[in-house]
Amino acid sequence: MPVTGLPKKCQLPTLLWIVRLCRITETPLAMNRQRVFNFGAPGSEAGYAKWLTGRQVAVQEMARRMNLPLGHQVEVWLFGGIRLRGKLRLQQEILFIEEEGVRHLELVVDQVKFTYREMESCVRLD
């Protein structure tokens, strides 16, 4: 495999020098070809925006499957006879949705925090 960008008479000695250097330092040649992240490249924020959109869609899908009207006015009854009225929201953004952790999902209505398992009923008002 010829080394590109060098005159033909320099290619073989240069390649042998690189192989010898790699043997001396005991580093594989592939490590010298490590790629670098370019965070300043144009369009790099598009990937983050797509990831955020994907997370929002996943949360909306989870809420739909659980029949939770996130972002809407609701009346929530908690066990013990506590009634809450207000906008239903997640207490904090969820990065990863785990099916077995849904019972521990933390919700908020009118600045009152509670978990999904504490909820007796939830009715959308709007």
DSSP string, 105-122: -EEEETTEEEEGGGEEEE
Q: Mean pLDDT in the chain?
A: 76
Residue ranges making up the domain that contains 77: 58-124
- The kind and range of the H/E element at 112 are strand 112-115
64 φ/ψ angles, rounded to the nearest 5 degrees: -65, -45
Asked if residue 43 is part of any domain, the answer here is no
The total of structural domains in the chain comes to: 1
**Do the strands 112-115 and 119-124 form a parallel or antiparallel pair, or are they unpaired?**
unpaired
Q: Which of residues 12 and 33 earns the better pLDDT score?
A: 33
- Domain of 86, CATH number, reads 2.30.30
Q: Is the pTM of this model over 0.85?
A: no
pLDDT band at 109 (very low <50, low <70, confident <90, very high): very high
Q: Tens digit of pLDDT for each residue in 48-57?
A: 788 888 888 8
